[in-house]
Amino acid sequence: MSLVEYSVTGAVALITLDRPPVNALNSELIADIDSALTTAESPDIRAAVITGTKHFAAGADITRFVDAFDSETPEPQASGLGAVVRRLENLEKPTIAAISGYALGGGLELAMGADFRYMATDAKVGQPEILLGIIPGAGGTQRLRRIVGYQAAKELNFSGRHITAAEAHDIRLADKVVEPDDLLRVAMADAAAWAEGPTRGYWAIKKAMGDGFGHSMEAALEIEREAFEEVFASDDAKTGILAFVNKEKPDFSGS
């Protein structure tokens, strides 16, 4: 993973993109992120933070798109990035994207695969693909709509404009906005708190909410019921319930 730094503090994995100057997403960086996420699937990891050096990720490496015009195969970056974003989204533990500088295009799409987005006050985010005559190809039309609502997502995708961390917070795209020097500390501290919780329960919430979206109420409630039954059989459910009955603090194992 030469373009990604991977480290572990306690039960929290820190995945740091490191392709100067702006972490433009090419096939090599995407592959390294995928490898890091594979490592983070370990049951010893109970939360993960993904970030970037100086900038989170300023979108795709557009120079690679030019080569695709002369190729008989479609440009591979969108599909590759889409799979990585989905993998981040499906990590069975809480995840935080810690965003400083630019998170544009594919960079914002990557951040939207995390459960929460924390932004430094200097962050600028957006889906500027339309300014190139194309559209987002790794979830920017779909996840953005789920997070900020239909009309706000349409406006951002139509305009391609960059928005500040403050505006991102106003539309709930950013969950927290902090000073740049505090960003990683706050993200890691919150991730450490999640890592002490019932990991299977967090995953059940993610699965029920994600899989239930867009279904009828009846179908969505069935998805929730199945998730409840699955997590009720976990060790952490027994731990939490018995601790409550005995008026003790639960010591969740993540299983």
Active site includes 196?
A: no
Which residues 6+ apart lie within 8 Å of 188 measured at CB?
9, 12, 14, 49
Active site includes 230?
A: no
**Identity at 114, one-letter amino acid code:** A
Does residue 21 have a cis bond before it (omega within 30 degrees)? yes
Annotated catalytic residue, options 28, 109, 229, 248? 109
DSSP 94-160: -EEEEE-SEEETHHHHHHTTSSEEEEETT-EEE-GGGGGT---SSSTTTHHHHHH-HHHHHHHHHH-
Per-residue tokens: 133: 């005559």
Annotated catalytic residue, options 75, 89, 129, 196? 129
Cite the active site residues: 109, 129
